[in-house]
């Protein structure tokens, strides 16, 4: 089975994936289970389905070190123009064209590839029109400002809704490209 490139992240109702300081502690449900669907998004299952995670420098720096522990079984590829270092053995920093590097990775044997974020990184993949699947969690929050998910001048894409789940006010939408 061919690997997929999957953009999976959460955003506020007004389209932000992080607050203006890069924080994401606002990503939480509203506590009301009245509209929960029987099916739930299985993040652990999703994590097991990927063996590579692609991050931008800001997203990597915004992740607390203890939060990176859950990704210890995946290779983490960080796109950066700066020389960064880390003690994490599964992290690779690259200054190469990240889209080309991920396309080459897609051709290799392996599991799916997760485009983690941030907005500038995701934008390169959206503009190249190579994302196979979009998994977007809509958080019941209007931030008012922050880091946007979608930037300007993207190509038009027709998508198909494959799954929709709700858990404590968080709606998770899974789309694939229409054939």
Largest CA distance in the chain: 48
DSSP string, 99-165: HHHHHHHHTSSSSEEEEEE-HHHHHHHHHHT---EEEEEEES---SSSEESS-SSPPP--EEEEEEE
Q: Quick one: residue 57, left, alpha or beta (phi over 0 = left, psi -120 to 50 = alpha)?
A: alpha
Percent of the chain with pLDDT over 90: 77
Percent of the chain with pLDDT over 70: 99
Give the whole-angstrom CA distance, residue 12 versus residue 164: 17
**Could you tell me the pLDDT band of residue 4, with boundaries at 50, 70 and 90?**
very high
Q: Identify the bridge partners of residue 94 per DSSP, sorted by sequence position.
A: 79
DSSP code of 74? S
Average pLDDT, stretch 142-149?
94
Q: What is the pLDDT of residue 106?
A: 96
**Could you tell me the pLDDT band of residue 128, with boundaries at 50, 70 and 90?**
very high
H/E segment holding residue 166: strand 159-167
- Report the Cα 88 to chain-centroid distance in Å: 20
Give me 31's structure tokens: 């506590």
Average pLDDT, stretch 95-113?
96
Q: What CATH number does the domain containing 29 carry?
A: 3.40.430.10
On the question of pLDDT at 1 being above 70, the answer is no
Q: What is the pLDDT of residue 81?
A: 86
CB of 141 closer than 8 Å to CB of 34: no
Average pLDDT, stretch 147-167?
94
* Mean pLDDT of the residues in the chain: 93
Beta strands 5-12 and 159-167: pairing type? unpaired
- Domains identified in the chain, total number: 1
Whole-structure pTM value = 0.93
Full domain range(s) for residue 16: 5-177
Give me 126's structure tokens: 């959206």
Residue with tokens 């958080």: 139
User: 54-68, 103-117, 146-160 — which is least confidently predicted?
Assistant: 54-68
Q: Identify the bridge partners of residue 114 per DSSP, sorted by sequence position.
A: 6, 53
Dump pLDDT digits (tens) for 134-145.
999 999 999 999
**Within 13 Å and on the Cβ side, how many CA atoms surround 152?**
0
Dump pLDDT digits (tens) for 50-102.
999 999 988 888 887 777 889 999 999 999 988 777 888 999 999 999 999 99
Residue with tokens 């607390």: 64
């Amino acid at each position: 089975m061919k690997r997929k490139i999957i953009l999976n992240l959460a955003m506020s109702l007004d389209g932000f994936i992080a607050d203006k300081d890069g924080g994401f502690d606002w990503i939480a449900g509203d506590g009301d289970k009245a509209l929960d669907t029987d099916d739930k998004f299985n993040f652990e299952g999703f994590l097991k389905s990927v063996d590579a995670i692609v991050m931008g420098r800001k997203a990597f720096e915004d992740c607390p070190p203890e939060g990176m522990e859950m990704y210890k079984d995946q290779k983490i590829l960080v796109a950066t123009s700066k020389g960064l270092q880390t003690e994490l053995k599964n992290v690779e920093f690259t200054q190469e064209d990240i889209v080309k590097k991920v396309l080459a990775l897609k051709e290799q044997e392996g599991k799916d590839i997760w485009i983690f974020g941030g907005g500038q990184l995701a934008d390169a993949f959206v503009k190249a029109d190579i994302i196979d699947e979009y998994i977007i969690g809509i958080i019941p929050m209007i931030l008012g400002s922050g880091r946007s998910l979608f930037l300007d001048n993207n190509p038009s894409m027709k998508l198909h809704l494959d799954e929709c789940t709700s858990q404590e006010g968080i709606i998770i939408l899974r789309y694939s490209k229409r054939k």
